[in-house]
Each structure stands twice: as structure tokens, then as C-alpha cells.
Amino acid sequence: MMKRIIYTFTLLGTVVITSVSCKKELGKLPENAKVDGNTIIDQRTAEIALNGAYYRFAAVNGENITKWFEHEVPPAMFAGYMGYGYGADQAETGNNYAKSSYANIYWTSSYQLINAANGVIKGVTTVEDKRFTGNRKKEVLAEARFLRAYAHFKLLSFFGQWFDLSSPYGALVREDFAEVDALPKARSTVKDSYAFILADVDDAIANAPAENKVWYATRWAAMALKMRVLMSHGQPEDYKQVTDLADSIILRSKYTPEPQTKDIFYVKGLSSPEVILGIKPQQNQESYYYTLSRQYWPGASSLYVAKTALKDVLQNDPRGAWMIGTENRYAKGTYYFLKYIKQGDEPSILSETSYAFRLTEVYLLKAEAIVRSGGSLQAARNILKEVMGRAGVTDFSAVDNAASVNDLQKQLYLEIVRNLVAEDGQEWMALLRLPSSLIQELRPTANDKVKYILPIPHSEFLYNPAIGPQNPGYQE
């Protein structure tokens, strides 16, 4: 008799493990990757389970549409560049996450992804190598570890004191199934959280495929993720690694910069040569009522808009003409946000496409690492001007006049906002990496490191008493 393990993913992402014995293969697994249980016995079933984890990454919901809202909107709100079109949220006005309606959204989705990835890792590890062709077993495991690293880093970034390597307030790392009888677990230290995340990322760099569909992970996507992690880790030795990783991606990968930035969002989408990892909309998603791009241009019950701060950053910048629309009639001082959808247009597959990693971010992180490591300011300026030029900018006087490290860091940050706003949270994380004086200048309400991270949801303390204390500054 052959014993097989069936993985059942609950609504909260918890995985129930059931062992069953059988003489022959169970009925054919559904081709749709959004299955409630997967039996991993060979390459085919491993691929189905992995695709299920990618569904978690893309946040496909019960209506079969991707919901990348949390990646695009709340971080831009925290940084002060976007807002709710029918009345301000506490997160956008004062970085008050305890009263914010967006405080808890990362917790459940991240652990759903982690548990799905853990299910793939556990199941594939137990399958004999001969059940896979070539290096596919290693690749599947590497892709799952990339997804797990991505989710753990998201949790560390939003719920852990990622800026303090000596802090005990790290991520709640889960490397095993969150079984019903094994939910209690203490959070890791920040140092140990980084070590776990980087180990997963390094495995993905070593073993993930070099070529894959753009909505699946590659070793290049893993390199880009490692660049993000190291920039937050922020130790002097990290910056050389960041520049080396950037050079590897720029010089050795197939990705090339999009000559006109606007074309990524209005013409090419995931076919752009600079998209490293994107979110592919589901079939007929654009026709659904409550899509995200329908919430950027009035067509749904929610509305997310650009604030005056974003309009000001884009003043005299050619991107302002197509990213910022007319003033929102429902809230003075806000404007329709048109990065993904033209004013007056109906949603399309293109407007519903999202972006996790683009080559532009690689260039900008390289420039930031050069500045932070004490490298050539002129080299960083040249990278920055190259990126801005592809967006149609011709006036580089602010960059050329940035004579000090602080001044150039500010100019790099402003370009991160202009280029990457509302993609995957980089406008917020890059802000918090700045010197405190610059943070206060750019976002005065982020005036305490308590406000850099969110409170852990109350429900976690009910179901996981071993987690430890709430984040400092918040009451449990």
C-alpha cells in the first residue's frame, strides 16, 4: 500500500494534513489550481500545487479575480501619496494604524501564501526524484521558497522592527504547516527573521529557473527580492551585494529597460521587456464589477485617488500629464489616479495587470546602494538620470544640484515615488530607509518608529498565545 499525504487549505490558509493509504491513484485532480486539497505524488500534481501557491501570491479571490489592492494602495497611503476618495482614512492622515481600516490586511494574505508554499515544499520533498524530469523538482521547491520568502519579508516589513537587528520583534516565521494542533509559535527575532528569509532567497537564486512565464518566479526575480531584503537589512556589507546583484540582472538577464515608461501601463503590460515578475489577471476579470482599476476611476463603490503630495511630486514632470487626472469631485484636494487606467476608460486586462518587480527598481536600488556605501555620487546621478530620461524627463537640474549624500538620497526617493508608486509598496519602504530628518521633511506624520510598522491583529493573540507581546506602542 502507498501512503499519500493530502493537503487541505482552509480559508485562513491553515493546512490540515491527512494521511491516507490506497492501492491506486485517486481520481484525477482538477486542472484549476484553486483547489481545496492537493495530493502531491509526481511532477504533474506538484505543478498543480505550486500553481495553487501562485494563486495565493496573486490574491485570487472567490470571484476569480486578482486582488492586489494591498500591494498598490495602502503603502502609498502610508507614504502620503494616495488616499480614499470618499473620505480620508487614519492611515493616510496620521499614520494611525490602530484605527486604520488597512492595518490587518497583510497578515492573513501573507500567511495564506506561506502555508500554501509550505504545503508545496513538504509535499514535493517527500516525492522521489525520479518522478520529476530534469531539475524540475529543485525548481518547484525553489519557486515555493521564493514565494515563502516574499511573504515572510512582507510580514517583517509591516509587522516587525526590520530596522533594528537587535530587536526581538521580528516576523512570526512558519517553516512548517500550521496544523490545527500546532498553531502556537513564538515570533522570531529580527536577526533570525532575516536569516530565514535570505536562506530561502538564496535557494531560489541557486535553483529557480532562469526562464519562466512572467507571472512565475525566476532566479532573476529572486535576485531582485534579495536586493530589497538587503536594503532593509542595511548593513555596510549589504550594499556591495546589492550592486553585484543589480549588475547580474542588468548584464546577464534577458530584461531590458522599457524605452518609454508609459508604455508599460498603457500599451504592453506583462509583455514589456522590463517586467521581471507580474500579476496576470484572470480570464474575463475586466468585466467584473469590483475590480481594482474600476476603483481608480469611478465605477465601483470604493475609490482610491492621488493626493496633492503626489501631484506636487509630479509637477513639471511629463508623467504628471498621464498619471494625475482631474480633481476628484467627492473630496477636495484629491485627484483621479490614472497610472493603470485612463480617465473615462473601462477596465481592461491591461488596466487589471499588476507589477511585483520591474527592472527600473533594480537600477534605482543600485543607485541607492552606491550612495549609502559611500560610492561615487556621480555614478548614482547617472543611473538616476538614465531612469528619469526613459520617463520623458529632460530637466535634470535637481539631480545635478544634489551635491550632498542627503540631497541625492532625497532625489532618488522622489524618483522611486514617481516611477514605482502604487506597485508593490516601495514608496513606503524606501521612505523609511531615509535619514530621520528627511522622513520628517517628506512625511511629518511618520514621526515615531512606532508608526513604521502595524499592530499584530488581535485574533493572532487569541489563537496563538505563544506569539509573545504586541508591537511596542500598541495595546493588546
pLDDT in tens, 196-239: 999 999 999 999 999 999 999 999 999 999 999 999 999 999 99
Query: Which string of DSSP letters, residue by residue, matches 347-384?
Result: P-TTTT-EEEEEHHHHHHHHHHHHHHTT--HHHHHHHH
Using alpha carbons, list the distances in angstroms from residue 474 to 152, 240, 306: 21, 36, 29
Lowest-confidence range among 9-18, 127-136, 445-454, 462-471? 9-18
Q: How far apart are CA 143 and CA 195, in angstroms?
A: 18
Mean pLDDT of the chain: 90
Q: What is the pLDDT of residues 79-122, one digit of tens each?
A: 999 999 998 877 788 887 776 667 688 999 999 999 999 999 99
Give the cell for residue 100.
Answer: 486604520
Q: Name the phi and psi angles at 262, rounded to 5.
A: -55, -35
Sheet holding 324-327: strands in order across?
Answer: 82-84, 304-307, 334-337, 324-327
Question: Between 190-207 and 136-159, two packed helices, what is the crossing angle to 10 degrees?
Answer: 150
Question: Which amino acid, residue 259?
Answer: P
For 184: left if phi > 0, alpha if psi spans -120 to 50, otherwise beta; the answer is beta
Using alpha carbons, list the distances in angstroms from residue 28 to 24, 32, 82, 126, 180: 12, 12, 46, 20, 27
Using alpha carbons, list the distances in angstroms from residue 263 to 25, 63, 108, 250: 48, 29, 34, 20
Q: Write down the H helix ranges in 256-307.
A: 261-263
**So what's the pLDDT on residue 180?**
55
Q: What is the pLDDT of residues 341-376, one digit of tens each?
A: 999 999 999 999 999 999 999 999 999 999 999 999
**So what's the pLDDT on residue 371?**
98
Q: What is the pLDDT of residues 419-452, one digit of tens each?
A: 999 999 999 999 999 999 999 999 999 999 999 9
To the question of pTM greater than 0.85 for the whole model, the response is: yes
Map grid coordinates 469590483 to a residue.
290
**So what's the pLDDT on residue 33?**
42
Which helix or strand (DSSP H or E) is residue 151 part of? helix 136-159
User: Does residue 54 or residue 37 have the better pLDDT?
Assistant: 54
**So what's the pLDDT on residue 89?**
79
**So what's the pLDDT on residue 104?**
83
User: Does residue 29 or residue 31 have the better pLDDT?
Assistant: 31
The residue-averaged pLDDT of 397-406 equals 97
Query: In the chain, pLDDT over 90 holds for what percent of residues?
Result: 81
Q: How far apart are CA 218 and CA 276, in angstroms?
A: 8
**So what's the pLDDT on residue 450?**
93
**So what's the pLDDT on residue 6?**
36
The residue-averaged pLDDT of 307-313 equals 97
Residue 182's pLDDT band (cuts 50, 70, 90): low
**So what's the pLDDT on residue 428?**
97
Query: Which string of DSSP letters, residue by residue, matches 201-240?
Result: HHHHHHHS-SS--TTS--HHHHHHHHHHHHHHH--HHHHH
Residue 20's pLDDT band (cuts 50, 70, 90): very low
**So what's the pLDDT on residue 36?**
36
Residue 7 has pLDDT above 80, yes or no: no
**So what's the pLDDT on residue 179?**
61
**So what's the pLDDT on residue 277?**
98
Lowest-confidence range among 96-105, 285-294, 319-328? 96-105
Q: How far apart are CA 262 and CA 338, in angstroms?
A: 11
Give the cell for residue 403.
Answer: 551635491
Reference 306, options 97, 100, 79, 69; nearest CA is: 79
**So what's the pLDDT on residue 476?**
65
